[in-house]
Structure 1
Amino acid sequence: MRSHLVTYRVPVNTHDGDARRPPFNAAAARRLREALGMTHAHVAYGIWAAYGIQLHPATVASWELGESAPTEAELTALAGALWCAPAELLGTPGTLREYRLALGLAPADLALRIGMDQTTYERLEGGGPWRGTERQAAALAEALRLPLPALLRFTGQEEQLAALLTSAATTRWQGYVRPVGKLAPLPKERLQDVLQQLHEEYHATMTASLSWTGGGAPDESGKAGRDFLDGIVMEFWRRAGEMEPPR
């Protein structure tokens, strides 16, 4: 990565519900427990013995039924009791916190790896803006094995990418190969192909929408164009072969 990252201030990590409780794959927890021949009591005892967290077996059962979900600490302990990685008990990660949990890293450990103060990192994970450096961004991507789209999202650069792609699609795409490449360091030929495709499809969409209405409904044409541009970042990643796993 060559771009400077300090100035972007877009919130990148919001949560629904109780932020202490990560998304939980109840079916996976039950499947893993049964494969080990363990009862809910066995799991509860294993969590207490290894992690000092006291749980009733009924709590473990309620997790598997989807009636409740473990906290971050409980999920880590459950993974230990079931001899699996935390990622196996999570859905596909979507937030920065979920990527960290999937690898079983504590906030302090990750902050140390990327050379960031723990308080600053936790503020980012809680929804604050990215205030890190280029080097810290690269370290974050390596530590969490982040796909490129996720990295740009978490470092607050997605809006800038959207603005560049919009200009490339609506004006002369050739002038945007280099600035887009600074944000998304992909092979130049691939970038050129994707930007040209987006440019051509945008103008084809505008032309087609006018044809459908006999050329007399510019509002319809504008709506079709806006709809295309609203999804241009996702379309860019899809055509570039860099999509994140579905969440």
Structure 2
Amino acid sequence: MHSTPFSPTEARSARARMGLSPTQVAHFMATCGAPVHPQLVLAWEQGSEIPTDRQLFALADVLWCEATTLMGIEPRTLAEHRLARRLTVERLAYRIGMDPTEYREAEAAQHWHGDAWQTRALVEALGLSLRKLIGIMGRVDELTEHLRSAVAGRWKAYVDPVAEIVVVDATSVGDALRTMHGEFSRFSERYMGHLVARNDDARLKEIAAERAAYLRRLVDHFWELIGEEGEASPFPLGGR
């Protein structure tokens, strides 16, 4: 069940900066379309109650601060990024063409299963990148394993699985995997060349260290090759 993140301390501080009483806050919230009792404002500041999403947005407007200030955290989850953009579930679901119930389930499970258009609409609405979305959804480890298998084996077999995770077209993913496979293969070629030539162990260890460093940067390098497609919504959202 989603619960709106809220910092009583930040709420008290924001109200103090504005010089408003709980009664005044409640009055101004009513003008914002979110009427509440002054005692509820105090309950929020005491930590005994938590505002709803709509109440959080209205309170941020009244106190002239960002929603993230009142949340007291840097957004980490899909729900928190939505709140930071002051979007209700219903409004965001409408913008990305998804049933609100389905979207709410995705937030609760922290598992995104929208199609390519919905995914691109989501990252644009939340001000994210495809790469950031994958991190939020906890799929970085899965992507890493696919990339490691691709560079060490038959890279073509991993084009579709990787494209499904990153929501980038298969051609771009294939180009990146082919490049990475070639780069990784050269480590083996150099290693074997020095081994056959009976070069000293220091050189072999140096190549092995370079190989290990390459593997550690595998995901970063993949996104470097993908380029702008991974940093923002890859194409305009004018149609489906």
TM-score by length of 2: 0.59
Q: Relative to 1, partners in 2 of residues 1:118 and 1:180: Cα closer, same or farther, differing over 3 Å?
A: closer
Contact 1:114 1:140 survives alignment (8 Å): yes
Residues 1:134 and 2:150 aligned together: no
* Larger RCO: 1 or 2 (CA < 8 Å, sep 6+): 1
SS of corresponding position for 1:93: coil
Aligned residue pairs: how many? 191
Q: Relative to 1, partners in 2 of residues 1:41 and 1:238: Cα closer, same or farther, differing over 3 Å?
A: farther
Residues 1:71 and 2:82 aligned together: no
Which has the higher mean CA deviation after the structures are superposed, 103-112 or 41-50?
41-50
Q: Relative to 1, partners in 2 of residues 1:136 and 1:52: Cα closer, same or farther, differing over 3 Å?
A: closer
SS of corresponding position for 2:69: helix
Deviation, 1:236, is: 4.0
Q: Partners in 1 of 2:50 and 2:90 — Cα distance?
A: 24
Q: Relative to 1, partners in 2 of residues 1:130 and 1:180: Cα closer, same or farther, differing over 3 Å?
A: closer
Instruction: Kindly report which structure 2 residues correspond to 1:54-69, keeping only aligned pairs within 5 A, or say none.
Output: 54-57=36-39, 59-69=40-50
Structure 1 residue aligned with 2:67: 86
Q: 1:37 aligns with which of 19, 25, 31?
A: 19
Structure 2 residue aligned with 1:28: 10
> Which residue identity is paired with 1:85?
E
Q: Partners in 2 of 1:238 and 1:22 — Cα distance?
A: 36
> Which residue identity is paired with 2:144?
A
SS of corresponding position for 1:130: coil
Deviation, 1:23, is: 1.3
Deviations 1:14-53 (A, max 9, x none): xxxx62x311133332232222111222212222343243
Q: Relative to 1, partners in 2 of residues 1:80 and 1:166: Cα closer, same or farther, differing over 3 Å?
A: same
Deviation, 1:76, is: 1.9
Unaligned runs of 5+ in 2: 188-211, 225-229, 231-240
Instruction: Kindly report which structure 2 residues correspond to 1:86-235, keeping only aligned pairs within 5 A, or say none.
Output: 86-90=67-71, 91-127=73-109, 129-153=111-135, 157-158=139-140, 160-167=142-149, 171=152, 182=163, 183-184=165-166
Q: Relative to 1, partners in 2 of residues 1:22 and 1:52: Cα closer, same or farther, differing over 3 Å?
A: closer
> Which residue identity is paired with 2:74?
T
Identity of paired residues, percent?
30
SS of corresponding position for 2:74: coil
Q: Which protein has the bigger helix share?
A: 2
Q: Partners in 2 of 1:140 and 1:55 — Cα distance?
A: 35
Contact 2:53 2:88 survives alignment (8 Å): no
Structure 1 residue aligned with 2:207: none
Contact 2:14 2:63 survives alignment (8 Å): yes
Structure 2 residue aligned with 1:218: none
Q: Kindly report the root-mean-square deviation, in angstroms, between the aligned alpha carbons of the 2 structures.
A: 4.3
> Which residue identity is paired with 2:99?
D
Q: Relative to 1, partners in 2 of residues 1:178 and 1:70: Cα closer, same or farther, differing over 3 Å?
A: same
TM-score by length of 1: 0.57
Deviation, 1:128, is: 6.8
SS of corresponding position for 2:44: helix
Q: Partners in 2 of 1:49 and 1:62 — Cα distance?
A: 20
Unaligned runs of 5+ in 1: 1-17, 201-224, 243-247
> Which residue identity is paired with 2:67?
P
Q: Partners in 2 of 1:239 and 1:32 — Cα distance?
A: 43
